[in-house]
Structure 1
Amino acid sequence: MNVFKLLSRSSKAAQSAPAQTLPSAGAVANPQLFGHDESATVSSDTRKNKKRKRGKDAEDTSAPLPADLDFFGTSKKEDAEPTIQATEMKQKRTSQLQTDIETNGKQEELEVEPYDEDESKRILRSHKLKVTVLEDFAPQEDEAQPEKKKKKRKKEEKVVEKKKHAKKQLFPQPLTSFVQLRTRYGISRRLADNLREQAYTLPTEVQLGTLPLLLRSRKTEQECQKGDSSAASASGAEYGGDIDLLSVAPTGSGKTIAFLIPVIDALLSEKTAEGDDGPRAIVIAPTRELASQIVNEARKLSKGTGLKATLMKKGMEVVERPEEEKVKSDEDGPRNSEEEDESASDSGDEDKAGQQKKRKRRRADKLKAAILVTTPAALLNALKQNDNTLASLPSVRHLVLDEADVLLDPLFREQTLSVWNACSNPLLRVGLWSATMGSNIETLAISTLNTRWTSLSSTNTTLPPRRPLIRLVVGLKDTAIPNISHQLIYAATEQGKLLGLRQLLHPTALPTTSSGPSLRPPFLVFTQTIPRAIALHSELLYDIPPEAGGSSRIAVLHADLSGTQRESIMTKFRRGDIWVLITTDLLARGVDFRGLNGVVNYDVPNSAAAYVHRVGRTGRAGRAGGVAVTFYTQEDIPYVKLIANVIRAAEKLRGVAEEDQSVKQWLLDALPTPTKREKQELKKKGVEARRSAKTDDGKNKARISTKSGYERRVENRKRGAKIGSKQRQEQEPRRKVEEASESEFEGFE
């Protein structure tokens, strides 16, 4: 026995470090972000109240005490057995009723009455939901009124103009379980089965508030007749699901499911008119990766329903084109198919004529999917005709703009509005969804709806009543997701950022600090430009040892890669073969990585909204433990306050104490506030030091490299020497040929 080990042994047992909860650990039981405890207490209280109202006796419905402990009751066990048997029988009946509803699709509800207005307000506020009516196009009163009423009306209008911010609030019936979609709202039985197969049981905040607004309840008329008119109008039941919605909810809160369920249910209940076989619902996304993800979710929910969801691809025919456009080839040629066939047969090239016929038939095939998911540019190219006009889409009755703030940004605005105006159906329902939504987007949406309605009313006299535009906000607008931790690290220079990123790749090299939880793979690394992403990938290519997979664990993804390469990299990253994925803002929006443990902002985002969407790739569906690390240098200091304010608001929403927040008040006071012009320049072009390869003095301060200037000079000289030697070797044979040709003629003798 070693005496020194025995004497140095501590009296306390060795304590292991607490295990860190990670998003990659799996799904959580409750995907909601807010109101976990309060909603449970509210639901239990309301159930007691409902049972007390429904029960014939006025007895207390609390749990009965055992017979041995009930000193004020009968001491006989025989008297307690019937009550226990009765409660067991009641539980069996309720469970049997619930299974019957789920399996057989019966129309009856469980014995739980809908919430009244006060209970709905309490639940919605506990989940930080706010529903307001932005524009209500209710029919106005007739102008044949007395003069006194007209004067009163003018005074009321003036008062309304003064109170611009006083908008009508709605308190819809909250959706507490996905089972109520079948029992209360009567969605398709197959759609309910698909939701159950995908393990959707408890709705998130955005689903809890939007689905009651977008779906038509079976008992809407009965509830309106039972209650007073004010309660009915406060719940929004008078709209019957026929609304235009603008929804602002945190990233990873289930917005895709929230807009796909009403669209699929409406398409199943609608009857298709004769000859109206085009797409009936269009979902527009800013990137192809997000569009592909939406298609996968739509196919899961529409399985077995007969509806088809497809991704827009090059060459698809969305609308029926005239015969002249079908026949016309890509190159200049004859417009008639008969002339083309004759010319082909005259030349004797029968194979060519057959290929032309096949190409014509392929181009003439029209899209038959009910749900079309696309990017704005791809759909716009398919709608363009020979005279540079756009074909109309009269069959579309549902238009969804996912990441609407980007689609209505100046980058995509013209394309998105062109597609929006091409949907000429007067029954079109519009949905705008995003995690960040500025007031300018709301104003643009209202003006677009008004302009479109004016153009429709000028051509069609029999129009249905205008539907209202309703806004739903979860939490605080333009705020990061609250269930992740944020770290703002000053790195001073580009070399400092590279060193900090290498320390994140090797967390055991340094002792753990109290700054926050450590970052573990898999995680994303965001850069400002594509060249910087490629350079960072080449710099970190061999940082992971071969025993752990080596260079195959690190990859780069950007817009310059082909579609197949991007899909392959995304598949490997989701499968777990790639641990560190370096990318640009291409993957900053909408893409769902459920097991992503963190995000690294190697370059400061271009705006506060960009930061919200970047860090929202982790902490999806209520998963806790995600980490968001942001490096900033001396050049980033004028813009860091935008991100610091977002971090502070998210931690305040999370309930973190002020002394424990990662952004201190002294840092906010010390950071400069960027001007409006600086914000616009940053949003358009990013940080100026990283825009170009070289600065005015000829030096590249934004180079991603750990090599010194002397080493780079030596490498450049060696590279130049190699290139020079190759050029000399290529020129030497040519010089010998020239010398030989000159030596052949030796002159006259």
Structure 2
Amino acid sequence: MDAFKLLTRSTNFKSAAQTKAKSTARLPSTGKAANPQLFRTAAGEKLESAQNQKKRKRAAAAVEEADEHDTPDLDFFQSSKRSSAAKTEVSESAQSVQEQTTEQDDRSDEEDEMDEVERRTILNSHKIKVTDLRDIDDIPSQIAPETESKKQKKTKKKQKKDEPSVLSKKELKRARRLYPQPLTSFKELRARYKISSRLAENVADQGFTVPTEVQLGTLPLLLGGLSGSSKSAEEPDLLVVAPTGSGKTLSFMIPVINKIVRHHHSSQSDEHGILSIVVAPTKELASQIVNEGRKLVAGTGVKITLMKKGMRVVERSDDDEKEADVLDENSDVSDSEDEEEGEGEEDAEKVKTPSKKIPITKSDILVTTPLQLVNALSEHQTKPLAQLPLVRSLILDEADVLLDPLFREQTLSIWRSCIHPDLRVSLWSATMGSNIDDLIRSTIKERRVEMGLPSAIQDPLIRLVVGLKDSAIPNIEHKLVYAATEQGKLLGLRQLLHPAAASASDVRLRPPFLIFTQTIPRAIALHSELKYDIPAEAGGSSRIAVLHSDLSDTQRSEIMRDFRKGEIWILVTTDLLARGVDFRGINGVVNYDIPNSAAVYVHRVGRTGRAGRTGGIAVTYYTKEDIPYVKSIANIIDVSEKLRGDGSEKSIQKWLLDSLPDLSKKDKKELKKHGVRARQVSKQVDKNGKDGDGKGARGMRISTKSGFERRMENRRKGAIEASRKRKANSSAHAGGDSDKESWNGLDD
């Protein structure tokens, strides 16, 4: 018997090393993701690898042919002058060979278009579904020839009798399905779609090689139209539903920048002004889009600008302005003039003079929030909305929020102000309700009727969905934790901050991570409660911060900068950061308060696991008051775990899904508007004026202090305040008495 084996039987060196490597590798903040694609099957990989092999063989054959025929004979026993001439000849021939090979690659990329079977295989393998949303009568017959042939085979008898055929729901869906040319590599952007060479270099400099699913499907549509060729480009209106962190910003920025570069080089280059508008719901997301766009526009001559307060984006030409001041056509009347009307001509002139000095923004791409642009176009809603005649691209990022009742009127007014006949609209989000489709179709039709444009048959409206609609990304781990009370949630959160103390819990969450609350007061209260939980040697209270909309723009930008730099580890926030903001090193998300809807949950947890990274954790706490609202979140977690398909143990059991109550439509609307009522109302009071559940606001308070401690604190504060009042009153009385005593009347 081997003595070494006997001695080392209880020691497993390999497993320990593996677990250590696994624990470090599974953190999403450790580095870039190896594979940014979330959905990929073996069939799609085989097709893509086969195409890449064809291209490599073609390039190798071209190089061999050039070496055989074009390489000049060299004489090594000759003068130095001749040898240098030979060298230049060789370099010129090599350069010509390289040019020839690139030309051949370009031609081959144009010629080697996939047939419908290959396109369908690749799109299905990446779970990409493309649908034409137009009426079935408006769809050209050449789009889906195969579906028509199948239908003819199945209904030969009916066609012989000349009976009118009515399409079933399945046949209607089949007729609407499209299979455009997918983008298998970023190199095709230059070879097939002829984008700007400088733009292609900027994309390569960012390190992008393999497109994600949303880029694989949308870039060919926006650059080459439904035909898949840039020569006969027919850019559609596009509605995109793709998971969070899948690269949607790059998908809409590349086509917009390329479109503007072409416009600058065309005969219409005399037109200067805003050509594209990107609308985002928050300032943080708008700032992020501008930062990403500036990396792509470097050296292209395209300018991208973030909308700020006080900017002028259009030159007004109202009749009343012309009559009032013919000499100054660029005068900009601010809203403060209307407020100070009637106070005098001097004050009015003081208000006018600074606005005249503000120049019109000279930018090609304007990134803005809805309210800022509407205020700029209507001069703070004091005048009719100005028109944007040059805008050819309108992009709505997080479109479901922008078309929500909160922002809908502002977004639609921006849409109507873009009066160019060739305007194209694209809407992007990770969640999109079915009512958005109908709203977009009706808005497009109304706009065309108002502008007197012809029928919308020539303008396709395409919807592209990646994965399952309105589902969370499958590469993160979800945990749904019952905490019973607010104190239980706070205890569970402290266990996440100190994982050594959480022996019974299997959740291990390392900073940096985000904590979401329902309201701003709760975020502030939670921040003050956790402020000193991080030890001083690790940075103390400077490692945790709170971010909400009541802070100034400067404070918000400073907190965001410090969080990105890693100086802040834990960020307590509201749904302000739930959408679109990209933090590539986030290890997890904590839903301290449950989200107002399933869509908000999808966006919140999407702050981790960006760009295909694995290892992110999403922890959601719920209490007794939250039980009626948990089922929609549990369903999303269940679907996400099914999409993962790795055979791991499910966190949501079937018995839990069956036991959770269903929520009515009315309750869903109330939850979406107000959140959980118990946390929204300051105090719960019944008809008799007493606390309804015996706890009231005390039950919803974020604190670890008992009621007795708080009562004693309040008594102490009340006593201090009362003594201050007594002192103030006594000093006032003393002052009054001294005055009375000192007054002796007038001396004779």
TM normalised by structure 1 equals 0.81
For the 8 Å contact 1:101–1:108, the answer to whether it is kept is no
Closer, same or farther in 2 for the Cα pair 1:161/1:389, shift >3 Å?
A: farther
For the 8 Å contact 1:47–1:112, the answer to whether it is kept is no
Matches within 5 A, 1:645-684: 645-657=635-647, 660-684=649-673
Matches within 5 A, 1:60-71: none
Matches within 5 A, 1:668-707: 668-696=657-685, 697-698=690-691, 699-700=696-697, 701-707=699-705
Tell me the amino acid that sits aligned with residue 519 of structure 1: L
Which digits, 9 at most, give the CA deviation of each residue in 1:412-454, with x for residues without a partner?
Answer: 1111011111111110000000000110011101110111111
Partner of 1:29: 34
The CA distance in 2 between the partners of 1:102 and 1:379, in whole Å, is 49
Partner of 2:409: 414
Deviates more, 1:324-333 or 1:279-288: 324-333
For the 8 Å contact 2:337–2:352, the answer to whether it is kept is no
Closer, same or farther in 2 for the Cα pair 1:630/1:400, shift >3 Å?
A: same
The CA distance in 1 between the partners of 2:256 and 2:536, in whole Å, is 49
Tell me the amino acid that sits aligned with residue 668 of structure 1: L
The CA distance in 1 between the partners of 2:52 and 2:338, in whole Å, is 73
Partner of 1:555: 545
Q: Report whether the alignment pairs 1:133 with 2:132.
A: yes
Matches within 5 A, 1:284-295: 284-295=279-290
1:272 Cα deviation (Å)?
7.2
For the 8 Å contact 1:397–1:428, the answer to whether it is kept is yes
Partner of 2:364: 370
- Give the paired residue count: 661
The CA distance in 2 between the partners of 1:562 and 1:194, in whole Å, is 34
Partner of 1:168: 176
Q: Report whether the alignment pairs 1:44 with 2:49.
A: yes
1:729 Cα deviation (Å)?
2.6
Tell me the amino acid that sits aligned with residue 195 of structure 1: V
1:675 Cα deviation (Å)?
0.7
Partner of 1:736: 734
Partner of 1:300: 295
SS in 1 for 2:200: helix
Aligned residues with identical type, % of pairs: 55
Tell me the amino acid that sits aligned with residue 739 of structure 2: S
Q: Report whether the alignment pairs 1:254 with 2:247.
A: yes
For the 8 Å contact 2:193–2:230, the answer to whether it is kept is no
Match 2:439 to one of 414, 423, 444: 444
For the 8 Å contact 1:328–1:334, the answer to whether it is kept is no
Q: Report whether the alignment pairs 1:210 with 2:218.
A: yes
Match 1:488 to one of 474, 480, 483: 480
Partner of 1:145: none
The CA distance in 2 between the partners of 1:732 and 1:97, in whole Å, is 100
Deviates more, 1:262-271 or 1:488-497: 262-271
1:169 Cα deviation (Å)?
1.3
For the 8 Å contact 2:59–2:101, the answer to whether it is kept is no
The CA distance in 2 between the partners of 1:182 and 1:303, in whole Å, is 17
SS in 2 for 1:660: coil
SS in 2 for 1:682: helix
Tell me the amino acid that sits aligned with residue 420 of structure 2: N
Partner of 1:425: 420
Partner of 1:81: none
The CA distance in 2 between the partners of 1:157 and 1:450, in whole Å, is 28
Closer, same or farther in 2 for the Cα pair 1:531/1:495, shift >3 Å?
A: same
Match 2:374 to one of 357, 370, 380: 380
SS in 2 for 1:282: strand
SS in 1 for 2:224: coil
The CA distance in 2 between the partners of 1:538 and 1:153, in whole Å, is 78
Tell me the amino acid that sits aligned with residue 430 of structure 1: V
1:109 Cα deviation (Å)?
5.2
Q: Report whether the alignment pairs 1:331 with 2:323.
A: no
Which digits, 9 at most, give the CA deviation of each residue in 1:150-198, with x for residues without a partner?
Answer: x999965854799654542111121111111001110000100111111
Which digits, 9 at most, give the CA deviation of each residue in 1:304-327, with x for residues without a partner?
Answer: 111110011111111102355826
Matches within 5 A, 1:497-536: 497-511=489-503, 515=506, 518-536=508-526
Closer, same or farther in 2 for the Cα pair 1:392/1:101, shift >3 Å?
A: farther
1:638 Cα deviation (Å)?
0.4
Closer, same or farther in 2 for the Cα pair 1:327/1:518, shift >3 Å?
A: closer
Which digits, 9 at most, give the CA deviation of each residue in 1:26-52, with x for residues without a partner?
Answer: 111221101164433222344567899
SS in 2 for 1:628: strand
The CA distance in 2 between the partners of 1:97 and 1:31, in whole Å, is 36
SS in 1 for 2:700: coil
1:661 Cα deviation (Å)?
0.9
SS in 1 for 2:133: strand
The CA distance in 2 between the partners of 1:166 and 1:554, in whole Å, is 52
For the 8 Å contact 2:110–2:192, the answer to whether it is kept is no
Deviates more, 1:531-540 or 1:172-181: 172-181
Closer, same or farther in 2 for the Cα pair 1:35/1:306, shift >3 Å?
A: same
The CA distance in 2 between the partners of 1:98 and 1:252, in whole Å, is 41
The CA distance in 1 between the partners of 2:590 and 2:100, in whole Å, is 47
For the 8 Å contact 1:190–1:305, the answer to whether it is kept is yes
Partner of 2:238: 245
For the 8 Å contact 1:194–1:301, the answer to whether it is kept is yes
Q: Report whether the alignment pairs 1:643 with 2:633.
A: yes
For the 8 Å contact 2:547–2:574, the answer to whether it is kept is yes
Which digits, 9 at most, give the CA deviation of each residue in 1:121-168, with x for residues without a partner?
Answer: 111111101111011684999xxxxxxxxx999965854799654542
Closer, same or farther in 2 for the Cα pair 1:52/1:598, shift >3 Å?
A: closer
The CA distance in 2 between the partners of 1:98 and 1:692, in whole Å, is 75
For the 8 Å contact 2:109–2:192, the answer to whether it is kept is no
Tell me the amino acid that sits aligned with residue 562 of structure 1: S
SS in 1 for 2:546: strand
The CA distance in 1 between the partners of 2:44 and 2:592, in whole Å, is 39
Which digits, 9 at most, give the CA deviation of each residue in 1:454-499, with x for residues without a partner?
Answer: 1111xx67x9964110010000000001100000000000000000
Tell me the amino acid that sits aligned with residue 244 of structure 2: T
SS in 2 for 1:437: coil
Tell me the amino acid that sits aligned with residue 211 of structure 1: L
TM normalised by structure 2 equals 0.81
Tell me the amino acid that sits aligned with residue 290 of structure 2: V
1:724 Cα deviation (Å)?
1.6
Match 1:194 to one of 196, 202, 209: 202
